[in-house]
Amino acid sequence: MKTPPKINPEQHDILPLLAAQNRTLDWLNTDDGNPYSLPNTARRSYLEATRIVPLRYRKATAAHPDIRRWINGLVGEAFAAQKRQPTPAAVVRSGPSLLILGSVGVGKTYQCYGALREMALTGVVAQWTVVTAADLYARLQPRFGVDSETEFERHAKAPVLFVDDLGAGGKLSEHTENVNFRLINYRYDHQLPTVITSNLLPKELGGRMGDRVASRLVEMCDRITMTGPDKRRQVAA
């Protein structure tokens, strides 16, 4: 495997992200020739993250202390697993999930993309799949010529999955209820790290998502409730 190119800080919003991790640009751009060294893995993961993260969130960092704790937990477990069973790089494979609740515009999506970017710089391999709940339901709508089961598995089995805005929109159809249950149940059974955002209140989860989904979410997730004004309106004002 080739070692990834050096990161030019002028083309990337990377210095605050490095500072948040107590890392330096010199560390990140170290190339010792080993493609799996921590900085080489971190650069590869960071460049992959720039392909996944939408333009609006390209500078995101996860300021919330509970999110940083969640990242550190998964990263620590990935290194511990690598010690138990040596592999070239440490890989995030299992661990707790994260449920981020809060009203529209408080910054939930921003925190999640911040977590994705920050995890990249730790030097572990975390393969993220990102989807909004609404896009997921649309992709899994049974239709001619599309194997929706393969598409379901691509999300259900993702090593790290970010589902944005679960429970938003109108009344749940049988299809969306079914997708919610199958997806959360799979992630729950296999203890696959999942980040979920929702603008539901904690007490609304059961009524909206059904008790089977809500009960699993409560057990598998560290829950964070974000409060504050709608940042979109602040920007507009």
Residues interacting with Mg ion, by CB under 5 A?
109
- Which one of Mg ion, ligand ADP, none interacts with residue 56, CB within 5 to 8 A by kind? ligand ADP
Instruction: Give the integer Cα–Cα distance in Å for 31 and 136.
Output: 39
Distance in Å, CB of 70 to ligand ADP, minimum? 17
Cα dihedral 87→93→94→100 (10° resolution): 140
Distance in Å, CB of 164 to ligand ADP, minimum? 7
Contact, 236 vs 105, CB < 8 A?
A: no
Closest CA to 196 of 236, 152, 232, 161: 161
Distance in Å, CB of 46 to Mg ion, minimum? 23
Minimum CB distance to ligand ADP smaller for 178 or for 234: 234
Residues that bind ligand ADP (CB under 6 A): 56-57, 63, 102, 104-110, 231-232
Q: How far apart are the first and last CA of the chain?
A: 49
Per DSSP, what are the bridge partners of residue 132?
Answer: 164
The residue at minimum Cβ distance from ligand ADP is 107
Minimum CB distance to Mg ion smaller for 109 or for 194: 109
Residue 64 has, within 13 A of its CA and on its CB side, a CA count of: 25
Distance in Å, CB of 212 to ligand ADP, minimum? 26
Query: Token pair 């989904």 is at which residue?
Result: 213
Distance in Å, CB of 97 to Mg ion, minimum? 17
Minimum CB distance to ligand ADP smaller for 88 or for 202: 202
Minimum CB distance to ligand ADP smaller for 60 or for 78: 60
Query: Token pair 């981020």 is at which residue?
Result: 100
- Which one of ligand ADP, Mg ion, none interacts with residue 159, CB within 5 to 8 A by kind? none
Instruction: Give the integer Cα–Cα distance in Å for 237 and 231.
Output: 10
